[in-house]
Structure 1
Amino acid sequence: MPHEGLLEPRYDAAGLAGVLPGVAASLGVSSLDGVDAVPMRPARRAVVVLVDGLGYELVRRRGGHAPFLRSLLPAAYRITAGFPSTTATSMGTFGTGLPPGAHGLLGYEVLVPGEDRLLNELSWEDGPDPLAWQSQPTVFEAAAADGVAVTRIGPGFFDGSGLTRAALRGGRFRAADSLAARVDASLMAVRADRRALVYLYWGELDKVGHVHGCQSWEWGDELEAIDAELARLVRSVPSDTAVYITADHGMVDAPHALRIDIAHDAELAAGIRHVGGEPRSLQLYCEEGAEADVMATWTERVGQRAWIRSRADAVREGWFGPVSEANLPRIGNILVAARDNFAIVDSRHWRPQLLALLGMHGSLTPDEAAVPLFHIPARDSA
């Protein structure tokens, strides 16, 4: 199976897992000693911004729309989001500092063991108790327990949502709608305490990319607006405050003409009980005894357009990091990670809104799995 073009997932200081532990350690959170974190300069306060869909390669290629971020690129880290490169999984990795195999948020849609159904880990509709599904402590919880004033800022419907409770619990939540309002709320929160950690989430870039494509003028316009507000944030924080900007994944445009729909392909549909994951990162849950036939068929049909692995091989190669026994059954029997701009959909079960999207992510290409980490150190040390 060819590896060319595959970005190997990392769950140490070279990956998204190392970001929040590194920030917390820079604030003096002692309970994180020994965690493999991105090294950060000590600071009294910190603001961490996560821009959904801000892939490293996209920033590099479309930096003309982002003069502030472009000026930071020479000193930026290029880190890996992990696998799959999707929001729910990356939020678990970011929030806990652990690989997906440990925190258990293993994809956009994954099997609920023993219930013969899929869970959408983004919407969490009819989902299990988030604290039971993801019981590992979060970095925000550790920081708050160490006396850091933790504030999480995002859309109001995130407060108490399943994914937030699973991946990002800890501290207090403050709702704000526009990016300017979230920047204002971040500045207010970071100024309110002498030892503070503020997390700001912005999701519009991802939404625009899904609908219009990440090569569109609409995506460029949104990046321009984000860039201006991030520059204002950095100019306005107290002098003892460090600012970090990162992302959960990148994106590729997957034209509809280049897709396969399993609903109209009986050969590919044979032997599959559930199609989990998403179009760029499928998780196939096979009927009993059908795994070998499904693997052979899919390898023959799409093996040159995707990296195809059995669950055992994907785990052995470290796609999810070390996987606990409890989390192993959540992973599909067969993983299909698309190459280039290929995608596979299933119109039998997926919403028309999902099928209509142009921009996608989830796979292990650099465009999807490489994300930036911009670090603007505090002007005054802690």
Structure 2
Amino acid sequence: MSTPGTAPAPRPAAVDAARALYRPPAPGEGLASVLPAALVALGVDLPSGTPVPTWSLPAARHVVVVLVDGLGSRQLARRSGHAPFLRSMTPADRDARCGFPSTTATSLTSLGTGLPPGGHGIVGWQTVLPDGRLFNHLGWRDGPDPLEHQPAPTLLQHAEDAGVSVTTVSRPLFENSGFTRVALRGGGYVGTEDPGERAAGVLGALAGAGRSGRSLVYAYWDEVDKAGHVHGPGSMEWGEALEGVDAFVRELAAGAPRGTVVVLTSDHGMVDAPHEHRRDLADDAVLAAGVRVLAGEPRAPQAWCEPGAVGQVVATWTRELGDSALVLTRQEEAVEAGWFGPVRPGYEERVGEVVAAMLDATTVLDSRLLRPQVLALRGHHGSVTDAETAVPLLVHEV
């Protein structure tokens, strides 16, 4: 066991294993490069320090970025029969990836800022605030000031400042949320609860730019993620939700003005994680020993430990989880392996002292800290597996 105030010695073999298991997107790659590519296509200079994308879009007057929550590229490939229009789109990058953890809060902030997780500091669904409270980034209940927690300007703001008409089309609930202000602030907002109205919202935003104007529209679609969480990514319901996305994108392509480029991507994939593979700290005294608060997500738990207990927790979790997980210390191993990308000074404290990545169907959670609706979910994401980190990057030119 480590002594109070010290961390266990780094394990070079663990760092090597982490690097071999997961390579985060390089600068100019992956989800964080989508809006920069859209800006270049619109003729907008990138903000200073933003990497030039390694891939490109056709020059355009209008770009629509469709983010389908939970539509991993591996799941899409298996169920492509439900999506004939998406199948006809051109892959811009056949191996696009999201960052770690592969979860909505982290990924959407990378999309919106063009930064890796360590650069924007939203390093998980849940974290522990300096006052010791467990905090949910998506819910943002009683949270810190969003602009202080994530002060980097968004690329939507940059596009707006450059004279581009910028619009987000999403659920009304999200318009003024703390998380939206963190990840996707900038431009106008069209709230559409009914999925059938979203295409009209996007097409209206494109028309509003006028014939000579340039527009950037971000459209968010969450039904696939919901179906995967509740029923599993291999379910009939998931396939039906994919059909809805396909019809939506087809309608956009048919109604968009000439000179429009539609880009479809996602924030993460998903795996089926049956409840029988769950490890729950609420009734598992061995895994719970030394853990003060469990945050992160069930596929990528992050533990804040009792004083001096980091080494004990790493050793216990490594032994107990075996081949089901790779267990790392925060700074010496997970950050050193580059899983979060370059980490801005101070943001490393937002990462749990122990970080685990699930490698099979296992989840690790603490049911005392989660709502019953979360505990009932079958599909999960967050880890470094191919099924969770590979995302589509598809393009259609009108």
- State whether TM-score is above 0.5: yes
Distance apart, 1:361 and its partner CA: 0.3
Deviations 1:158-186 (A, max 9, x none): 11101100000001111112222111110
Amino acid at match of 2:164: V
Structure 2 counterpart of 1:89 = 106
Q: In the aligned structure 2, how far is the partner of 1:74 from the partner of 1:276?
A: 35
Amino acid at match of 2:89: L
Structure 1 counterpart of 2:392 = 372
Structure 2 counterpart of 1:101 = 118
Is it true that 1:144 corresponds to 2:160 in the alignment?
yes
Q: In the aligned structure 2, how far is the partner of 1:6 from the partner of 1:71?
A: 32
> Residue 79 of structure 1: SS of its match in structure 2?
coil
Structure 2 counterpart of 1:242 = 261
Amino acid at match of 2:38: V
Is it true that 1:268 corresponds to 2:287 in the alignment?
yes
Deviations 1:85-107 (A, max 9, x none): 00000011000000111111110
Structure 2 counterpart of 1:172 = 188
Work out whether residues 5 and 365 of structure 1, in 8 Å CA contact, stay in contact via their aligned partners in 2. Answer: no
Q: Tell me how large the CA RMSD over aligned residues is.
A: 1.5
> Residue 341 of structure 1: SS of its match in structure 2?
coil
Equivalent of 1:70 in 64, 83, 87: 87
> Residue 17 of structure 1: SS of its match in structure 2?
helix
Amino acid at match of 1:308: V
Amino acid at match of 2:196: A
Ranges in structure 1 where 5+ consecutive residues have no aligned partner: none
Q: In the aligned structure 1, how far is the partner of 2:317 from the partner of 2:310?
A: 10
Structure 1 counterpart of 2:150 = 134
Equivalent of 1:281 in 296, 300, 303: 300
Equivalent of 1:35 in 45, 50, 73: 50
> Residue 198 of structure 1: SS of its match in structure 2?
strand
> Residue 32 of structure 1: SS of its match in structure 2?
coil
Work out whether residues 108 and 183 of structure 2, in 8 Å CA contact, stay in contact via their aligned partners in 1. Answer: yes
Structure 2 counterpart of 1:226 = 245
Work out whether residues 179 and 226 of structure 1, in 8 Å CA contact, stay in contact via their aligned partners in 2. Answer: no
Structure 1 counterpart of 2:30 = 15
Amino acid at match of 1:226: V
Q: 1:98 to 1:348 in 2, by over 3 A?
A: same
Is it true that 1:307 corresponds to 2:326 in the alignment?
yes
> Residue 344 of structure 1: SS of its match in structure 2?
strand
Structure 1 counterpart of 2:356 = 336
TM-score of the superposition, structure 1-length normalised?
Answer: 0.95
> Residue 135 of structure 1: SS of its match in structure 2?
coil
Q: 1:3 to 1:116 in 2, by over 3 A?
A: closer
Equivalent of 1:353 in 346, 368, 373: 373
> Residue 367 of structure 2: SS of its match in structure 1?
coil
Amino acid at match of 1:301: E
Distance apart, 1:15 and its partner CA: 1.2
Q: 1:122 to 1:206 in 2, by over 3 A?
A: same
Structure 2 counterpart of 1:327 = 347
Q: 1:74 to 1:110 in 2, by over 3 A?
A: closer
TM-score of the superposition, structure 2-length normalised?
Answer: 0.92
Distance apart, 1:3 and its partner CA: 5.6
Q: 1:376 to 1:149 in 2, by over 3 A?
A: same
Q: 1:131 to 1:154 in 2, by over 3 A?
A: same
Q: In the aligned structure 1, how far is the partner of 2:215 from the partner of 2:373?
A: 39
Q: In the aligned structure 2, how far is the partner of 1:3 from the partner of 1:83?
A: 12
Is it true that 1:259 corresponds to 2:273 in the alignment?
no
Runs of 4+ in 1 over 6 A off after TM superposition: none
Amino acid at match of 1:62: R
Equivalent of 1:188 in 204, 208, 223: 204
The share of aligned pairs that are identical, in percent, is 48
Deviations 1:254-312 (A, max 9, x none): 00111111111111101111100111010011111111111111111113101211112
Work out whether residues 280 and 365 of structure 2, in 8 Å CA contact, stay in contact via their aligned partners in 1. Answer: yes
Structure 2 counterpart of 1:198 = 217
Amino acid at match of 2:192: A
